[in-house]
């Protein structure tokens, strides 16, 4: 296992990408990279997600490629076999965390409460996904967690936009945010890669 702290410092925004048609996988990844975003969390929410992971891993090597929506140990194994370089889960169970920590890739477990943060930190991790960030309490909630638990860094995800990302990024315990707004479904289906590159460019600009 590896802590995911480095993963949190690649980009101010980790795009959360869901691809239905694997033919879109490589152009989406290239459009994000063209816009200056060199990291992806590709969700395992479609039947073809593992195919898309493999394609991006093989054809866009300058992207740090993660697999998201990991719910089971089997999905974690399949994602790593397909080329995932880090794993993201929306939440954790003891069994899933045990298994992910045996794998040789950084792991970003999802947490939403102080108790979950403490349970994951007990396992030696200090980088976590805060999900679903908006509904779970937003920036003020994360700021409050930072008082008793200052050593954990978060990637809040869920309900974040270009407009609200700065409210999170200014917090000392936030290294980056995640969001699906860089790859709108309509733009992917219309194969509007220039729109995705433009959205990536705006997001990359959040880093200053």
- Cα separation of 81 and 174, whole Å? 30
Are the CB atoms for 203 and 35 separated by under 8 Å?
Answer: yes
Are the CB atoms for 130 and 156 separated by under 8 Å?
Answer: yes
Complex with ligand 3PG: residue 89 or 104, whichever CB lies closer:
89
Complex with ligand 3PG: residue 161 or 194, whichever CB lies closer:
161
**Binding of ligand 3PG by 157 (CB under 6 A):** yes
Could you tell me the sign of the dihedral formed by the alpha carbons of 141, 88, 21, 14, in that order?
positive
Are the CB atoms for 40 and 203 separated by under 8 Å?
Answer: no
Please report, as residue ranges, which positions from 95 to 124 form the binding site for ligand 3PG (by CB under 6 A). Answer: none
Q: What is the DSSP string of 173-201?
A: TBS-EEESTTS-HHHHHTT-HHHHHHHHH
Secondary structure (3-state) at 100: helix
State which of residues 86, 131, 154, 168 lies at the interface with ligand 3PG (CB under 6 A). Answer: 131
Task: Kindly state the smallest distance separating residue 147's Cβ from ligand 3PG, in Å.
Answer: 25
Are the CB atoms for 161 and 168 separated by under 8 Å?
Answer: no
- Cα separation of 197 and 34, whole Å? 6
**Binding of ligand 3PG by 139 (CB under 6 A):** no
Question: Which structure tokens are listed for 175?
Answer: 């290294």
State which of residues 158, 168, 188, 197 lies at the interface with ligand 3PG (CB under 6 A). Answer: 158
Active site residue 170: no
Please report, as residue ranges, which positions from 34 to 53 form the binding site for ligand 3PG (by CB under 6 A). Answer: 43
User: Which position among 129, 170, 189, 202 bears the catalytic label?
Assistant: 129
Task: Kindly state the smallest distance separating residue 14's Cβ from ligand 3PG, in Å.
Answer: 9
Task: Kindly state the smallest distance separating residue 110's Cβ from ligand 3PG, in Å.
Answer: 8
State which of residues 178, 187, 188, 204 lies at the interface with ligand 3PG (CB under 6 A). Answer: 178
Active site residue 129: yes
The region of 50-58, 95-103, 117-125, 173-181 touching ligand 3PG under the rule CB under 6 A is: 173-181
- Cis geometry, peptide bond prior to residue 132 (ω within 30 degrees of 0): yes
User: Which position among 41, 116, 122, 202 bears the catalytic label?
Assistant: 41
Question: Which structure tokens are listed for 203?
Answer: 């997001």
Task: Kindly state the smallest distance separating residue 69's Cβ from ligand 3PG, in Å.
Answer: 6
Site residues for ligand 3PG per CB under 6 A: 16, 43, 68, 90, 131, 157-160, 178-181
Active centre residues (catalytic):
41, 129
């Amino acid at each position: 296992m590896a802590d995911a702290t480095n993963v949190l410092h690649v980009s101010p925004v980790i795009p959360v990408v869901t691809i239905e048609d694997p033919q879109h996988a490589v152009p989406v990844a290239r459009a994000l990279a063209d816009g200056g975003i060199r990291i992806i969390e590709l969700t395992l929410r479609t039947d073809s997600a593992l195919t898309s992971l493999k394609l991006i891993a093989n054809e866009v090597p300058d992207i740090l490629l993660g697999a998201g929506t990991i719910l089971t140990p089997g999905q974690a194994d399949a994602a790593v076999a397909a080329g995932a370089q880090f794993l993201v889960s929306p939440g954790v169970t003891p069994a899933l965390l045990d298994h992910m920590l045996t794998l040789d890739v950084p792991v970003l477990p999802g947490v939403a409460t102080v108790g979950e943060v403490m349970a994951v930190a007990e396992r030696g991790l200090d980088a976590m996904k805060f999900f679903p960030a908006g509904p779970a309490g937003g920036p003020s909630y994360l700021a409050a967690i930072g008082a008793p638990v200052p050593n954990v860094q978060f990637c809040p995800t869920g309900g974040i936009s270009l407009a609200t990302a700065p409210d999170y990024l200014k917090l000392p315990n936030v290294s980056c945010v995640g969001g699906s707004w860089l790859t709108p479904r309509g733009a992917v289906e219309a194969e509007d890669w220039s729109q995705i590159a433009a959205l990536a460019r705006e997001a990359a600009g959040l880093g200053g």
